[in-house]
Amino acid sequence: MRTTVRLDDGLLAKAREEARKRGETLTSLMERGLRLAMSGSHQGPRAGRVRLPVSSASGGLRPGVDLDDTGSVLDRLDDLR
């Protein structure tokens, strides 16, 4: 099947060069890229850093936070939102 795809000129030039370096056609490079993008196997952006609540008075954990119990940590984080 044939189709028309409009790409930025710079992107197209880079894609052609990459395909040439890999010894494959532009079509096969684009097909592989689309399959990868749709497979869900790629990793999205990493989540931001999570700051755990601590008590400023004692420098320790707030009451009710047990780092060995993931559920209690998540509950406390939900309380802060």
What pLDDT does 54 receive? 63
pTM of the full structure = 0.49
Collect all residues with Cβ–Cβ distance below 8 Å to 63 and sequence separation of at least 6.
55
User: Where do the structural domains in the chain lie, given as residue ranges?
Assistant: 9-38, 52-81
pLDDT at 1 over 70: yes
Per-residue model confidence as pLDDT tens digits over 33-79? 999 888 876 566 667 787 766 655 666 666 767 778 888 778 777 77
What pLDDT does 56 receive? 57
Q: Per DSSP, what are the bridge partners of residue 61?
A: 54
